[in-house]
Amino acid sequence: MSFKSQFFYFLKPIFWGIIIALVIMYGAKFTDVVGNLLDNDEVSSYSSAVKKASPAVVNIYSQQYIDSSIDNKQHLQPTGLGSGIIVDSKGYILTNFHVVSQADQILIALQDGRLFSAKVVGSDLITDLAVLQIEGNNLPVIPQNLEYSPRVGDVVLAIGNPYNLGQTITQGIISATGRSGMSSSGRQDFLQTDAAINEGNSGGALINSRGELVGINTSEFYANTQSISNGISFAIPYQLSRRIMESLIKDGRVIRGSLGLVAENLDPLLARLWGLKAQNSIIIKAVGKDGPAFTAGVQVNDILLKINNKAVENLVTALDYVAEIKPGTETTLTLLRKGEEIKLPVIIGELNSPTNQ
């Protein structure tokens, strides 16, 4: 027998011995995994996601100075309840503007028992967002992922302090994205969920199954005046909230570009008459006097096709695109007027009213 044959003759049992050892070592673990998958008694849980996110969701207590009829002095009285989210180790907290809009003093209670007095960094009426700040060490920060894009069907958890019961978790799914026109300004691009939202939940966190911030819980939907919830809730997407927060921290306000006009999505029937896709054009309904669009020569019933050669998808995306343009920038509008396509240069103005788009 040659040396080569002898070598492989002795190597063969060693090789198979290693294989058998590996099977013995990892076979039990594999069996446990399969058993867990097949075990009907195994509990499905989002505990890990909650543990990551919940410490950063705070209780917000608003107080106002109230005139006393007893000693003719002003005294602080609790006037509001809400939730907030610590999004930065510097103590920045995101919440809803309506939670703190009437507050003379704002108290922040963390889940670890600490209590802080907060200052308002800035607020934005249009998106109903506010940024607060507290000073403290080792503050919990909620996990964030700007790359995450919410999808219909994603499981979400709402964390907040409803009715001051203490931190509460409710579960649901994202049932729609891009909901607009649900607020007084009509500018939010809401996420719609069926996770229960009640008084005190406003400003709290909507998270995904990884514990990442998905949105800021804002309101429930009421189909009538009886204040009876229909199991539909809305949240402001995290990506939008992040942009607003950064503007408020940097400038103390949100600087938005504006064309100074009122528009709406083009009616599908009218669109077909013009040979257009309804979702890719909007129609001008009013032009503010002496505003950017008025000065540029935009007229009522013009159909807006493009902004800076960027096709208009719908009203919400068009408004968002214009809002991101720095005021004073020259922009080109492509319009359809009486069947003729025209281009008009326009100087972007600054948005100062929810109705001045």
56 DSSP assignment:
G
Q: Are the C-beta atoms of 173 and 156 separated by less than 8 Å?
A: yes
- Give the pairing type, strands 57-67 and 105-109: antiparallel
Mean pLDDT of 146-165: 92
Which residue in 54, 62, 83, 98 is the catalytic one? 98
List the beta bridge partners of residue 336. 303, 341
pLDDT tens for each residue of 207-256: 999 999 999 998 775 444 555 455 788 899 999 899 999 999 998 888 88
Distances (CA, A) of 273 to 14, 175, 304: 80, 33, 15
Which residue in 202, 233, 241, 258 is the catalytic one? 202
pLDDT tens for each residue of 121-137: 999 988 899 999 999 99
Q: What is the DSSP string of 306-347?
A: EETTEEP--HHHHHHHHHTSPTT-EEEEEEEETTEEEEEEEE
More reliable by pLDDT, 214 or 315: 214
Per-residue confidence band for 72, with pLDDT thresholds at 50, 70 and 90? low
d(CA 321, CA 308) in angstroms, rounded, equals 10
Annotation marks residue 320 as catalytic: no
Taking the model in full, what pTM does it have?
Answer: 0.73
Please give the pLDDT value at position 266.
81
Annotation marks residue 202 as catalytic: yes
Per-residue confidence band for 354, with pLDDT thresholds at 50, 70 and 90? very low
State the chain's mean pLDDT as an integer: 82
3-state secondary structure of 226: coil
d(CA 4, CA 12) in angstroms, rounded, equals 12
Please give the pLDDT value at position 180.
57
Mean pLDDT of 262-271: 80
Q: Are the C-beta atoms of 305 and 311 separated by less than 8 Å?
A: yes
> Is residue 73 exposed (0-12), middle (13-18) or buried (19+ Cβ within 10 Å)?
exposed
Per-residue confidence band for 18, with pLDDT thresholds at 50, 70 and 90? low
Closest CA to 213 of 186, 188, 244, 240: 240
d(CA 171, CA 164) in angstroms, rounded, equals 19
Please give the pLDDT value at position 119.
95
Please give the pLDDT value at position 27.
56
- Dihedral over alpha carbons 132, 199, 175, 42 (to 10 degrees): 100
Lowest pLDDT segment from 51-60, 61-70, 246-255 = 61-70
Q: 234 — phi, psi (to 5°)?
A: -130, 145
Which residue in 124, 128, 154, 302 is the catalytic one? 128
Helix (H) or strand (E) holding 191: strand 190-193
d(CA 198, CA 220) in angstroms, rounded, equals 7
Annotation marks residue 128 as catalytic: yes
pLDDT tens for each residue of 178-214: 755 444 444 557 899 988 888 889 999 999 999 999 9
Q: Is 276 left (phi over 0), alpha (psi -120 to 50) or beta?
A: beta
Please give the pLDDT value at position 184.
42
pLDDT tens for each residue of 73-106: 666 667 788 999 999 999 999 999 999 988 889 9
Please give the pLDDT value at position 333.
93
Residue 111 clears pLDDT 70, i.e. is over it: yes
